[in-house]
A and B are shown apart, each in its own frame.
Chain A
Amino acid sequence: MAELSGKYLVGVYDDDDTVLHAVPKLRKAGVKIKEVYSPFPIHGLDEALGHPRTRIGIAAFMFGVTGCCAVLTLMIWTMGYDWPMIIGGKDPLSIPNYIPITFEGTVLFTAFGMVITFLISNGLGPGTHFHPRFDVRATDNKFIMAIEMSRNSMSEEEISRALKDSGAEEVNIKQF
């Protein structure tokens, strides 16, 4: 995750509905919101904030295709070409028998590839910063809205008032 710098206004909300309704209101008023932090997922919040839709599904599909091809290739090559073993008089190279393992391989590659992509794209990993930087209550019961001052043309008082009007119970200043 990128290092933070500069001055931030931090709005603290105590309800998921309030923060969800506050986001479009503030954006309409011209406030540029950096991010909202919440203890649980709020449906529609990322769209309200204008975040682009996640492309992790495409990555997952690619990993799945890779896994499917890799495992199928391994089986066809070992059983069909490298060292065919005739057991019980059966054809060693037999695609229907390979379906279970192909399926498992696809699932394995998709799951691990997707989770690793998820961790990297969110900057998650051991050794990353140990606390939410704006407000520690973001993992308990508060909904935290961060506004970067250098990105906003409005004055501190104006934004602060807009935050209070939209239902924020506290507005704090955070300097990095």
Chain B
Amino acid sequence: MHVTSPVREPLIQGGKTYADVTEDICRHVEATPTKEWKIAFGLSLIVLAYGSACLAWTWWEGLGVWGLNKTVGWAWDITNFVWWVGIGHAGTLISAILLLFRQKWRTSINRAAEAMTIFAVICAASFILMHMGRPWMAYWALPLPNAFGSLWVNFNSPLVWDVFAISTYFSVSLVFWYIGLIPDLATIRDRATSKVSKFMYGTFAMGWDGSAKTWARYEYISLILAGLSTPLVLSVHTIVSMDFATSVIPGWHTTIFPPYFVAGAIFSGFAMVQNLMLITRVVYKLEDYITLEHIETMNKVITLTGSVVGVAYITEFFIAWYGGVEYEYYAFFNRMTGPYWWAYWAMMTCNVISPQLFWSRKLRRSITFTFFISVIVNIGMWFERFVIIVTSLHRDYIPSSWAMFSPTRYDIGDYIFSFGLFFTLFLLFSKYLPVVNMAEVKAVLRSTSAQLPAKIAGVAKVRQRGAAEPAYNKDQE
């Protein structure tokens, strides 16, 4: 029944029982908000308020308040959009791709990572609305009949593909996340004491009773949703990359973009998951659920995707030279040595060199170092998008059109807005919803904890005690 490799560490530590899992996770939902939470929430509301004021002015006054000019028409807006969408990809990777690969360690982190996905995509979408300049005409991007004011949308344009990709991605991720939440909401509903929480969690749990029939269907649709989300998440960043790749701007017009963007997205997303989880596990005392093993595994994914990104940078550069197109070569040479050299080298250092440090087991298992590198990776990935967008644009074909981009207060303020929004939403989530998927953790608890099935557990337990290993002979069983 429960087969466990004795060489692996248990996923959930501390010898937890099913009741312990419920207690440990529900405690934070049921308790009144702590002082730390209130301070953090207050701070993010202040950040959000400042950002909202900047955003309101951007929309009131128009995009002229940004530092854009005739040559550099896309800058921080699209950089931030791609950055946030990329961050979102890790949540889907953890919840969908790792489910298909039967990676049980994902159960401790999938809930928070999916929440991160949803909030990151909301932030990304806000940059699309900002970038439109006139957000009240956002519905023009939808395929509405001509009587609504515009012609049909151009279905041959990757920008329209993006509208469909992002909205599908957001809504499917939201549904996937909510379906996973229902059993846990039911657990909280059945423990709730106050009238308000009984009503709220009861409404959102929708009458879940955990019958075998319901669970069988639940598992089935989780599998199909994972199967759908896997190509979906790859398609989303592929289409984002096509916004660039289908244009004829030197530096953008490359076929390597889709896989390179997807790898970069997962790379930065895992870094953001690390940042959030390292704080959450300490604040909510979840060290037994999100163990060093989890952190190490995520660091391995960061190293893998970081290496893919590194290879992509080098390949891109090689092809720019080997392809023999003068403009293409100049675009890349200019990135490296032109006026934006600092952005290029910041990107190379943060994204190519820093993840390679995780080859050291000691560093990979160091919490402080992991947190530090995760921040570095996210800075690097922001610079990657900045480099791709701004350095490809700022030196046009005619030197008289050459220009530099410098952000104004509103470029920066609108970026700050997205941070305020993200952290406000994440803090609300972490207070009012269970941050760890209780049902799924309970399902993997037995097969991985210290209370292993007798036959195989013997080996693991002996090994944990450090005694000599008994000979394990299958025929004797």
A-side interface residues toward B, CB under 8 Å? Answer: 1, 16-17, 20, 35-42, 45-46, 49, 51, 54, 56-57, 60, 74-75, 78-79, 82-83, 85, 87, 90, 92, 94, 97-98, 100-101, 103-105, 107-108, 110-112, 114-115, 118-119, 121-133, 136-141
Which residues of chain B have C-beta atoms less than 8 A from A131's C-beta?
Answer: 189-190
List, in ascending order, chain B residues with CB within 8 A of A87's CB. Answer: 154, 156-157
**Do A78 and B209 form a contact, CB below 8 Å, given A41-B219, A107-B172, A118-B221?**
no
Q: CB < 8 Å: which of B18, B220, B443 contacts A57?
A: B220
Q: Do most interface residues of chain B lie in helix, strand or loop, or is the interface mixed?
A: helix
A38-B215, A42-B215, A85-B154 given; 8 more Cβ-contact pairs under 8 Å: A39-B210, A79-B156, A82-B152, A85-B152, A87-B156, A108-B168, A115-B221, A141-B22
Interface stretch among B86-94, B125-133, B223-231? B223-231
Do A140 and B18 have beta carbons less than 8 Å apart?
Answer: yes
Q: Is B193 an interface residue (CB 8 A)?
A: no
Rounded to whole angstroms, the CA-CA distance of A123 and B206 in the bound complex is 9
8 contacts between A and B (CB under 8 A): A41-B216, A42-B212, A57-B220, A79-B152, A92-B156, A101-B164, A124-B182, A141-B442
Known: A78-B155, A83-B152. A130 touches B216 (CB 8 A): no
Give the number of A-B contacts (CB < 8 Å): 193
Q: A138 and B225: CB pair below 8 A?
A: no
Nearest chain A residue, comparing its CB with the CB of B153: A78
Assuming the contacts A79-B156, A100-B235, A101-B160, asked whether A122 and B217 have C-beta atoms less than 8 A apart, the reply is: yes
Total chain B interface residues with beta-carbon distance under 8 A: 67
Complex alpha-carbon distance, A107 and B210, angstroms: 27
Say whether B155 contacts A101, CB under 8 Å: yes
What distance in Å separates the Cβ of B226 from its nearest Cβ neighbour in chain A?
A: 11
Known: A130-B202, A141-B17. A108 touches B172 (CB 8 A): yes
Is A46 in contact with B189, judged by CB distance below 8 angstroms? no
Which residues, 152 to 196 on B, are CB-close (under 8 Å) to A? Answer: 152, 154-158, 160-161, 164-165, 168, 171-172, 175-176, 179, 182-183, 186-187, 189-191
B406 within 8 A of A: no
Report B403-438 CB contacts with A as 1/0, cut-off 8 Å. Answer: 000000000000000000000000000000000001
Q: Knowing A107-B228, A141-B17, say if A75 contacts B155 (CB, 8 Å).
A: yes
B residues less than 8 Å from A138 (CB atoms): 209-210
Distance in angstroms between the alpha carbons of A128 and B214 in the assembled complex: 15
Q: How far is the CB of A15 from the nearest CB of chain B, in Å?
A: 9
Contact yes or no, A41 B218, CB < 8 A: yes
Pick from B2, B152, B212: contact of A38, CB under 8 Å = B212
Task: Report the separation of the CA atoms of residues A163 and B160 in the bound assembly, to the nearest whole angstrom.
Answer: 61
Chain B min CB distance to A24 (Å): 13
Contact A40 B216 (CB under 8 A): no
Find B161's partner among A83, A100, A126 (CB 8 Å cutoff). Answer: A100
From A38, A56, A98, A129, B217 is in contact (CB under 8 Å) with: A56
Residues of B close to A137: CB separation below 8 A? 190
Residues of chain B within 8 A of A123, CB atoms compared: 207
B446 in the interface (beta carbon within 8 A)? yes
Alpha-carbon distance between A139 and B221 when the two chains are bound, in angstroms: 20
- The yes or no answer to B339 lying at the interface (CB within 8 A) is no
Distance (Å) between the CB of B452 and the closest chain A CB?
12
Q: B17 contacts which chain A residues (CB < 8 A)?
A: 141
Quick one: which of B114-167 are within 8 Å of A by CB? 143, 146, 151-152, 154-158, 160-161, 164-165
User: Knowing A16-B446, A114-B225, A141-B17 touch, does A122 contact B213 (C-beta < 8 A)?
Assistant: yes
The answer to whether A121 and B220 touch across the interface, beta carbons within 8 angstroms, is no
Q: Which residue of B lies closest to A100 (CB)?
A: B161
| A141 to B221 alpha-carbon distance, docked (Å) | 24
In the bound complex, CA of A45 to CA of B217 (Å): 12
CB pair A83–B22 under 8 Å, yes or no, is: no
Given the interface contacts A40-B439, A56-B221, A118-B217, does A132 sit within 8 Å of B209 by beta carbon? yes
